[in-house]
Amino acid sequence: MMRILLFTYSEHGQANTILALAEELARRQSVQQVNVCSYPDLRKRVEAIHARSSSPVIFHPLEGPNFEGLMKLNGLTFDDLRHPPSSKSIEGFRTLDRMVHLHDDEAYRKVVEASMTLIKSLDPDIIILDMVSDFAVDACRLLDRRYIVNTPLQSMDILRMLQPWGKALWYYPAVFSGNPFPVPWRLFFSNIVINIKMIATFMSNPLMNASPASRKKNGYKGGHPLREYFHPDINFISPSIVETDFPHFCPPNIRRFGTITLDTVPLEQSDPELHAWLDRKRTVVIVLGTHINYSENTATAFICGLLEYLPTDMQVLWKLKNKSEVGHIVEGFMDKAEVEDRNRFKIVDWIVGDPSAIMVHPNVACYVHHGGANSFHECCLAGVPQLILAMWLDLYDTASKVEYRGLGIYGNKSCAPGVDAVEFGKALARITTSGPEADQIKANTTRVAKLCKEAGGKKAAVDFILSTLDRGKTWVYPS
């Protein structure tokens, strides 16, 4: 009987795929115990999985602030992540590099030591860790323990800089640029320049330059795990499939299983009222992610675009996270709208049902989101056309992939990270009004949903995880 240990940061989007694997592992007869190590705010979610599992799922808390708390200690908030695409700014590169070094030396040493103590105490048969759980990688390296890396990202996001012939510089859209693929000739040289700027920014960052010395002082093996994350002897689990990503070379240790998601309670059980409301007519769902607050300008652009361009036979479910702050802006426009228009809107600051349970409702015709990995993959699995309003970092890459694969539209291309009412409204009309473009997008999303299901998701991923037992527990990092 096996014991499994999983590490992750606790933030909702980052933890989702790790929790989905834990949920599936706890169903397997050969698994005696599933252990999840993270920060305290993940406890309730782990305990909820434990309550519905046949094998125990035990939570092990880490001391100290979670990722968001570490950002605050370093003078960052999620609002600070917003930046124009890298074709217009290098701010995203600077922000990302600051995010790699959130712990100070002493705090990082403590969380690595706590992870090592837990590994030695449990002596798990398999260790699975989220790609950004750098502390867990260092703990495994120091203990010479084999591990499997899980990521919510697509395989191309892991392998971009490892593509042959320097293709990361010239063949693929520059990172965070939102450039189309294939890169058109008019953008060929600027695409290379963006990548050179990225490399120069990272190489000149004083925190990066200080990292090797601090790591050597503390006895860590190799470079920082978020910089030297790839090794051909370490397996990676990704929720992507070939048909949702840019075409690229993918080595055999990168395993693609399609969307990996937690079980959800059917919407008719979790929120019968919302389920009945969705039954009324075709619906646009707007959910911009856990960390995005609307400014007054953004809220105005949304409501103006919706009132002007939303097809008359459709309704809108809009999760307006900070409704208490900007709701008066929306209400001011709604008061001037016709009664029949006002009745087509359901604007809330919280949705009881899980987003993936909402997506599978047959009346959901379009899902508007920020380009987050979980939202993207859940849309792919549900077969729902996507309208992406990208605002930072890899969200721009997701927007490019959605357009390349014909799964939706990049809806703020001219003004990102902002939103323009006309651009957004026209993109919404294109994706929801029947015609050659919208019909093709729907056909593509239906086909991709079938392929995601065939890839196996978390069941296939767990089958693979359990098949790695014969590789043993020991792995010495070749530093």
Domains located in the chain, CATH noted: 2-258+456-471 (3.40.50.2000), 267-454 (3.40.50.2000)
Q: What parts of the chain have a pLDDT lower than 50?
A: none
pLDDT of residue 205: 66
What Å distances lie between residue 472 and 69, 115, 117, 367, CA to CA?
36, 20, 20, 43
pLDDT of residue 2: 92
Distance CA 397, CA 240 (A): 14
pLDDT of residue 208: 60
pLDDT of residue 325: 86
Q: What's the pTM value of the predicted model, to 2 decimals?
A: 0.95
pLDDT of residue 321: 87
pLDDT, tens digit, 9 for 90 and up, residues 9-42: 998 888 999 999 999 999 999 999 999 999 999 9
For residue 87, the tally of other CB atoms under 10 A from its CB is 18
Residue with tokens 């020991």, as numbered in its chain: 474
What Å distances lie between residue 429 and 319, 366, 394, 423, CA to CA?
20, 10, 26, 10
For residue 461, the tally of other CB atoms under 10 A from its CB is 27
pLDDT of residue 293: 87
pLDDT, tens digit, 9 for 90 and up, residues 119-154: 999 999 999 999 999 999 999 999 999 999 999 999
What lies within 8 Å, CB to CB, of 277 at 6+ separation is: 315, 317, 346
